Structure 1
Amino acid sequence: MSLLDFVFYSFITAVGIQVVFFIAFFGKFAFLKPEKKSQKNIDISVIICAKNEAENLKNFLPSVLAQKYPNFEVVLINDASTDDTLDVIEAFAAEHNNIKIVDVKNIEAFWGNKKYALTLGIKASKYNHLLFTDADCKPLSKYWIQEMSSCFNNENSIVLGYGGYSKIKKSFLNKLIRFETLVTAVQYFSFAKAGIPYMGVGRNLAYTKEEFFKANGFINHIKIRSGDDDLFINQIATKNNTAICVTENSFTQSLPKTTFNNWIKQKRRHISTAKYYKLKHKILLVLLYCSQLLFWLFATTLLVTTFKWQIVVALFATRIILYYTIFGASAKKLGEKDLVLILPFLEIFLIITQLTIFINNLISKPNHWK
């Protein structure tokens, strides 16, 4: 067998793996019809952990406090901030009687550890059902709490939501950031629908206090700086206790990074937790990423050399059409339809970026959550 023969059959294998992922996982989410859920109006504690977020709280906290929901509290955690975060929190608390303040001081054992601050906030919360977001996030509707809380029932104690990023015109970096967020969301929503939930994002995530204490909180990974959202969900989520919420009124939106270096630092921290996922999740994610990388690498090689080009072009076109169909539908579902036209270019850039981050994380490890 020649080298090109090996590349050709490897290309076919990569396409096959991709097709299985598209049809068996991502397609089911892309064309999922939202379920109509009854309004439950259960008591909710919204938890926001803030570290040096004075300005963001001024801008975004009003949209949380303005939610159309009968009974909710907002637990504001000041995680040892060095700016005016505590003053801003206290000013809001003076005007709203449903705010609870948790002022966290650094201690030697948990210096700079967000999980310690979150644990204190969860313990201080009044209600069993907890809804999490970040200080730089805003709900995109006044019915965010209602939509997310409607997914709780006797079985579902975890609700995975979508937290996107605001758009910046004429910025390729912004499109890349939002595309990466879209791809990640499609993966964790699709796997959850398939009965193998593996992560959620703290920008829009809900679970019960009962689940938190049943798992002994973050104790299993308390020394890992990141992972208060994805690692914890990876630990406790099952096919029976996890629901997804993808209605338009359930979305949140955050401020994106505006420089490539800052975004890379953020993603390095996020990606560093993946090695602690359960083995079955790591196998699926590695298989997915490798099949994407090898698809583009082998397709380029075979098309440049024109080796069995008719078959290669047919397989390449099939995969691209599937990708456009499924991720195009997902982008529209999650409010990111402006990304559709340049999906393949964004995918190539993201694959290269993720490979760079992986190599950098092997050389040096990121530490602090902020």
Structure 2
Amino acid sequence: MGLFLLWFFFGVGLIIQVIYLLVIFGRTAFSKPSKATNNPSKEEAVTILVSAHNEFKNLKTLIPKLFEQDYPNYEVLIVNDRSTDRTKRLLEEMMAIYPKLRSVTIKYTPNHVTAKKFAMTLGIKVTKNDIILLTDADCRPNSNQWVRKITAPVRENNKTFALGYSGYEKEKGFLNSWIQYETLLTVLYYFSFGLWKAPFMGVGRNLCYRRSFFMEVKAFKDLWHIEGGDDDLFVNKYATGRNTAVVLDPESNTTSIPKKTVKEYLVQKKRHLHAGKYYRSEDKQKIGFFTLSHALFWLGGLGLMIYFGIDKSWEHFSIVFGIILLRSVIMVAVFSSSSKKIQGTKAPKNIWILDFLYLGYFWVLGTISHQAKDIQWK
């Protein structure tokens, strides 16, 4: 009976994994890049919105970068959220240099709302333009075409949401390799389902939508009490196959500064994973089927190899090992192709090892995040 269950888990896990890798993730891996026209009649005004709390150093680098964009009609609005560093003075100095830079200052956050959502809502209310492009203070546009490319679906194709990719700077060390892998897997989830007309999340480091829609649905109604989720939960609640587009173009990306320590990274990921508990049931299943089948595949496969190794049934051992190796080859190929399409770069090295380690990461950290009550932004 035990051997039968191991084969059953291994087989079911393998089938679902292959479907995800080749059919679902394959949608990203084998898609053509997104296209944006240079039609002057559709160069609608854009507001780049950044919420910042004690981000003096990052804003000092980011603001000049934002004004290098090759787009004729945009403003930059920085929401100075309760900062106690030199952010206010920096913004005053920068506004003297860049006429299209504006700022709004928040001195306190009401008790009944979360800080990030309050800052964003106030910022969006005072923007001059209907197209809102969100990013974070520690992000950098990958090209001077960022505004044009990421806003194209909203400007040119009447979409409400445009979902973009935001990666992390590549550095040496295992933690950074892990960050690169986990970020790539995350974007494969939401890009692939978005391309299948079933969007369920986006990231606020690179997200575009219309102010009019935001105000129409009464901002973050029913989401105020949740720390985080100003991006993925908002998209999860309102994005559909008709009103949402994925922008698959390295020039439309942003790059963020990665966490330097395991502790900082875990705090960040706990906040991200915590928001997932509020997704719609059908959207939880999109991630759940992959992670469950991933666990079944690896646990069943390792269990079978241990069993056949002890039994010295090397023929069966070789069959199981060969299947695991084949699945790893497919996974590496799909991830590598996807990384090239999304980022224009290679996938992380030793990705098959990182894939195996994901087995423990998701189930342990995911469980902790789901039950956490100490989630906060800043």
Scaled by the length of structure 1, what TM-score is found? 0.95
Distance 1:198 1:363, change over 3 A: closer
| Contact 2:47 2:129 (8 Å CA) reproduced | yes
The yes-or-no answer on 1:157 pairing with 2:156 is no
The percentage of aligned residue pairs carrying the same residue is: 35
Higher mean C-alpha deviation, range 68-77 or range 89-98 = 89-98
Please say if 1:366 is aligned against 2:374.
yes
Partner of 2:263: 261
Which residue number in structure 2 is paired with residue 57 of structure 1? 59
Counterpart of 1:320 (choices 312, 328, 333) is 328
1:17-32 pair list within 5 angstroms: 17-32=16-31
Q: Judge conservation of contact 2:66–2:141 (CA < 8 Å) in 1.
A: yes
Q: 1:351 aligns with which of 342, 352, 359?
A: 359
Between the aligned partners of 1:13 and 1:144, the Cα distance in structure 2 is 42
What is the SS of the residue equivalent to 2:134?
strand
Deviation at 1:11, TM superposition (A): 0.6
| Root mean square deviation, CA, Å | 1.6
Distance 2:91 2:160 in 1: 29
- 1: CA distance, partners of 2:113 / 2:235: 23
Distance 2:371 2:211 in 1: 38
Question: What is the DSSP-based 3-state SS (H/G/I as helix, E as strand, rest coil) of the residue aligned with 1:108?
Answer: coil
Q: Is the 8 A contact 1:53 1:85 kept in 2?
A: yes
Q: Deviations over 1:12-48 (max 9, x none)?
A: 0000011111222100111111143312322100000
Question: How far apart, CA to CA, are the structure 2 residues paired with 1:61 and 1:297?
Answer: 48
Residue 306 of structure 2 corresponds to 304
Partners of 2:217 and 2:324 lie apart in 1 by 45
Deviation for aligned residue 1:356: 2.1
What code does the residue aligned with 1:353 have?
Y
The answer for the alignment partner of 2:277 in structure 1 is 275
Aligned length: 368
Q: Please state how far the C-alpha of 1:265 moved relative to its aligned partner.
A: 0.5
* CA distance in structure 1 between the partners assigned to 2:371 and 2:239 by the alignment: 31
Contact preservation (8 Å) 2:134, 2:205: yes
- Displacement of 1:319: 1.6
Structure 1: runs of 5 or more not aligned:
none
Residues 256 and 336 of structure 1: CA distance in aligned 2, closer, same or farther (over 3 Å): farther
TM-score, reference length from structure 2:
0.93
Alignment of 1:1-370 (within 5 A): 2-39=1-38, 40-110=42-112, 113-152=115-154, 153-169=156-172, 171-306=173-308, 308-335=316-343, 337-370=345-378
> Is the 1:176–1:350 Cα contact (8 Å) retained in structure 2?
no
Q: What residue ranges of structure 2 are gaps of 5+ in the alignment?
A: none
Shift, 1:87, TM fit: 1.5
Question: In the superposition, relative to structure 1, how do residues 88 and 111 fare at CA in structure 2: closer, same or farther (>3 Å)?
Answer: farther
The answer as to whether partners of 1:175 and 1:339 remain within 8 angstroms in 2 is no
